[in-house]
Each structure stands twice: as structure tokens, then as C-alpha cells.
């Protein structure tokens, strides 16, 4: 593609994007296509000769867009948000155009040095102490894997990478049942093994780990000759926002010399608001924290931030120095590829820099506070309806509810959530609380208004009356 055509189609894509964002409310939030419907419209082989851009773009609009679920739709209330603020999309275009591979300082000094700066902006914005250092990972799953690998290496006296796990002491890691499945995966991939992930029961409304049970489990493992290595706590669990008591968990970790990783993938963004930091009180006692600006904050996917107290431990676990990756002649530089499992790195700091400068922390705080307020409003309105029950009260902007209908309650609520999503005006998802199906509601989309929250209540009530 030559420069003139590149310009034409770049402008066309930008114009399409502006129109798309502007008209999202007219589209159903969740794709309304059945399995295989889109695939049936796509050729079975790559073309031998190239197609013109008019045809390709027309097919994109006709075939692909109808099969998209619109995550940037202001009435997306499912899962957690994956916000891509327009200013971050602009930054991503620039990143895509430069398409630099930012694995080492010298492969793009600006990418490394900007990352260092915006990580410290975010550390301050979240109220974390100065002894935390941030790094951008592709996902929370990767950050958690990193943390588990450090737990493993520290516990094994840095021998695991060389010797493997066979013949070494049996590592044990502790978490509640409320943590995300990325924790299970990290345990599998690190070789620790699911059997060595000790699930601590949860207590109370916050569904946090029973800290006495945690300590009992650690001591029992020590006495049995096993090797406690670390604890994974959560702040804002995926299902209904469970929160461990970080101060108490950190005290246990400290007492027994265990590494503490905190998964705040979704809720971490809210910590730019000082009043919500009570939910992770004691966070300064963590060794590693992950939160995803690509969820609530507005930095387009992917952008996951890991704060680490001792980056040298992560580098000791992951760094490899073949000659072709050495940077000769420069001392004191950071090569962020030594802080993550993948070698290659996209330039992710640019969109954070654009986002934080354009909206300012006050702008982002206002958005998050509104989401919390509107979620509480939706919960209050549903609570006032005789046939709705709030199952878990709002934690930040997430709560769950159930509709009382005829027949089996699980089947009824699954049918209701499907009917709501088939309607298309809003998008919700379900989870289980104490074994029973509930419907989740989270407010978090970047362009959401109070009107969208009111529409959500109206749609839920209207569809429930039809169900």
C-alpha cells in the first residue's frame, strides 16, 4: 500500500471509528448472531491475488461488524468494562503506525523512559508508597504468573528455573475461592500444581479469606514438611467483588516470610479516589500488586500494571542475557523485557500518558465516582421492586441480584439474563453466589450516563415482566 492510499484508508478508518462510537446506542450491545454464522460468510482460503480496499472495507462492515459485541457501548454492564477512551485510541493509532518492538531500552528509549515515568504517576495516583516500582504487562494473568514464579524461585532458593520442581520441596500457595481463574492458570503453568493451591474459606459480607484459617493452614503445611511460598489475595473479585483484608493477610505473610501478591485487576482503578482505598487498607505490606487500566480506567486493551516492591527479584527470576540482547555501553538502563515472560513488548505507556494528561486524575475520578453512584441507584431501584432481591450489595460499582419467578430459580434467572441480552438494549452476565445463579450488574463504561443507568433498570424490569 502506497502513501496516498494509506492516508485515504487511515482517514476512512478514523472517520468510521468516530461515527461508530457516536452511534453505539443504536446498536444491540451483545452480538445477535448464532454460532458459525459469521464463519459461513468468510472464504475458506486466503486469496492468491490481492483485493481492493473498497471490497475489504465493505466486507468488514457487512460481515464482521454484525458479529461484534460492542464493549464500548455505554450500556455494557456485563463482566468488567474494557474501556478504550477515545484519547487512548488516538495514542494506539500512533503506536501502531510506529510499530516499535520495545523489548529493550535501546529498541526505543522513549518507550522505556515514558513507561518509567507514567508508572510513577500511577503509583502516586493510587497512593502507593515510593518503594513500589511499576511495569506494564499485557494482562493481569501475566502479572500473576510473574508473581507466582517469584514465589516459587524465592522459596526454592532460586533453584527452580535450573533444577525444575522434581526432587525439591513441595511448594504451597494460599488464596480464597473468590480469586480469578488466572490464579489457577499461574499455578498450573508455574508447575506448582493445583493440588498445592490451598483454598482458604471466606467469611463475612466482604467474602475475604478467614485469616485465622489461613495461618492455621500455613502452620499445618510447615509441620507436614511442605514449603509455604506465597499468598494471593484479591481486592474486588470477579464474581461479586470479594475483598480480602489486606492488612491482616499481609501481617500473616510477614510473620511467616511469605510473598504476597494482590490481584486488584478491576478495583485497582478506583484507588485513584482516596475514599475507596479503605478497601485495600494495608496494601503497603504487599510484594506485588496488579491492576488493569484496560478495565475501568480507559487505557485501551491491553494495559495491565504490576507494582512490585523488589523488582530485582522479578528480574532475577525472568532475565536471560544472550549476546544479541545485550546493551553495551549504557549503565543503569532498564530493559523491561526482563520483567515479563514475553520478550516482545508493545509501546503501551503512550496511551496511558495521553489518557492521564487529557482527562487528568480529577476527570477519571469523577467518572469512577459516577459509576459507583449510578450502580447504587440501580441496586436501590431494583431493591424497591417486590419481585427482585439484591443478593450482594454494591461493592464499588458491582452488585448482584435475582428475580423471583415461577419454577427453578437458577433456570428462571438464566432465562431472564438471556432474554435481557436478546433484547439488546443492555448487556448483563450471570455468576453463582453460594451455589445459586445470580445476575451481575456493573457500571463502568467510559461514556455511560445516568440516563443509561435508568434505561438499565427499566429494561430489567420490563423484560422480567415478559419472562
> Which C-beta is closer to ligand PLP: that of 265 or that of 463?
265
Tell me the residue ranges of DSSP E strands in 148-247: 171-176, 197-200, 202-203, 208-209, 227-234
What is the closest distance, in whole angstroms, from the C-beta atom of residue 431 to ligand PLP in the complex? Answer: 11
What is the closest distance, in whole angstroms, from the C-beta atom of residue 292 to ligand PLP in the complex? Answer: 5
User: Do the beta carbons of residue 87 and residue 39 sit within 8 Å?
Assistant: no
> Which C-beta is closer to ligand PLP: that of 140 or that of 428?
140
Using CA atoms in the order 132, 138, 142, 146, what is the torsion angle rounded to 10 degrees? -40
In angstroms, how far is the first alpha carbon of the chain from the final one? 53
Cα angle for residues 354, 287, 297 (degrees, 5° grid): 25
DSSP H/E element including 308: strand 304-308
Contacts with ligand PLP, residue ranges (CB under 6 A): 80, 139-141, 180, 182, 237-238, 263, 265-266, 292, 304
What is the closest distance, in whole angstroms, from the C-beta atom of residue 175 to ligand PLP in the complex? Answer: 11
> Which C-beta is closer to ligand PLP: that of 347 or that of 395?
395
> Which C-beta is closer to ligand PLP: that of 142 or that of 464?
142
DSSP 345-413: ----HHHHHHHHHHHHHHHHHHHHHHHHHHHHHHHHHHHTSTTEEEEEEEETTEEEEEE--SS-HHHHH
Whether omega for the bond prior to residue 33 falls within 30 degrees of 0, making it cis, is no
What is the closest distance, in whole angstroms, from the C-beta atom of residue 290 to ligand PLP in the complex? Answer: 7
CA proximity to 211, closest of 171, 154, 256, 263: 256
What is the closest distance, in whole angstroms, from the C-beta atom of residue 179 to ligand PLP in the complex? Answer: 7
Q: DSSP code of 104?
A: S
DSSP H/E element including 7: helix 3-22
> Which C-beta is closer to ligand PLP: that of 156 or that of 372?
372
> Which C-beta is closer to ligand PLP: that of 237 or that of 444?
237
What is the closest distance, in whole angstroms, from the C-beta atom of residue 304 to ligand PLP in the complex? Answer: 5
Amino acid at each position: 500500500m502506497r502513501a496516498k492510499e494509506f492516508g485515504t484508508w487511515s482517514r476512512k478508518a478514523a472517520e468510521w471509528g468516530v461515527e461508530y462510537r457516536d452511534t453505539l446506542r443504536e446498536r444491540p450491545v451483545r452480538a445477535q448472531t448464532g454460532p458459525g454464522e459469521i464463519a459461513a460468510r468468510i472464504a475458506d482460503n486466503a486469496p492468491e491475488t490481492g483485493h481492493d480496499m473498497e471490497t475489504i472495507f465493505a466486507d468488514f462492515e457487512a460481515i464482521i461488524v454484525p458479529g461484534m459485541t460492542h464493549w464500548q457501548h455505554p450500556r455494557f454492564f456485563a463482566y468488567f468494562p474494557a474501556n478504550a477512551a477515545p484519547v487512548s485510541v488516538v495514542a494506539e493509532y500512533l503506536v501502531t503506525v510506529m510499530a516499535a518492538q520495545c523489548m529493550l531500552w535501546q529498541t526505543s528509549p522513549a518507550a522505556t523512559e515514558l513507561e518509567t515515568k507514567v508508572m510513577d504517576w500511577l503509583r502516586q495516583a493510587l497512593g502507593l508508597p515510593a518503594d513500589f516500582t511499576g511495569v506494564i504487562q499485557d494482562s493481569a494473568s501475566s502479572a500473576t504468573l510473574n508473581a507466582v514464579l517469584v514465589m516459587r524461585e524465592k522459596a526454592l532458593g532460586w533453584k527452580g528455573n535450573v533444577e525444575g520442581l522434581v526432587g525439591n520441596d513441595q511448594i504451597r500457595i494460599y488464596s480464597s475461592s473468590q480469586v480469578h481463574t488466572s490464579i489457577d492458570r499461574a499455578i498450573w503453568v508455574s508447575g506448582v500444581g493445583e493440588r498445592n493451591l490451598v483454598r482458604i474459606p471466606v467469611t463475612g459480607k466482604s467474602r475475604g479469606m478467614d485469616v485465622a484459617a489461613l495461618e492455621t493452614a500455613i502452620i499445618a503445611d510447615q509441620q507436614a514438611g511442605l514449603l509455604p511460598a506465597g499468598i494471593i489475595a484479591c481486592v474486588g473479585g470477579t464474581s461479586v467483588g470479594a475483598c480480602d483484608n489486606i492488612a491482616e493477610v499481609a501481617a500473616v505473610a510477614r510473620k511467616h516470610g511469605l510473598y504476597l501478591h494482590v490481584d486488584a485487576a478491576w478495583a485497582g482503578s478506583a484507588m485513584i479516589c482516596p475514599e475507596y482505598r479503605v478497601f485495600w487498607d494495608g496494601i503497603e505490606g504487599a510484594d506485588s500488586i496488579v491492576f488493569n487500566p484496560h478495565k475501568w480506567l480507559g487505557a485501551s486493551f491491553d494495559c495491565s500494571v504490576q507494582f512490585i516492591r523488589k523488582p530485582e527479584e522479578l528480574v532475577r527470576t525472568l532475565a536471560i542475557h544472550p549476546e544479541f540482547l545485550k546493551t553495551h555501553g549504557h549503565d543503569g538502563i532498564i530493559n523491561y523485557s526482563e520483567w515479563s515472560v514475553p520478550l516482545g513488548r508493545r509501546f503501551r505507556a503512550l496511551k496511558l500518558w495521553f489518557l492521564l494528561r487529557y482527562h487528568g486524575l480529577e476527570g477519571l475520578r469523577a467518572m469512577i465516582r459516577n459509576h459507583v453512584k449510578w450502580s447504587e441507584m440501580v441496586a436501590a431501584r431494583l431493591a424497591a421492586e417486590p419481585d427482585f432481591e439484591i443478593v450482594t450489595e454494591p461493592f464499588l460499582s458491582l452488585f448482584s441480584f435475582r428475580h423471583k419467578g415461577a419454577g427453578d430459580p437458577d433456570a428462571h434467572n438464566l432465562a431472564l439474563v438471556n432474554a435481557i441480552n436478546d433484547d439488546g438494549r443492555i448487556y448483563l452476565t450471570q455468576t453463582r453466589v453460594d451455589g445459586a445463579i445470580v445476575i451481575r450488574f456493573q457500571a463502568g463504561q467510559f461514556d455511560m450516563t445516568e440516563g443509561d443507568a435508568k434505561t438499565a433498570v427499566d429494561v430489567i424490569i420490563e423484560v422480567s415482566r415478559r419472562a
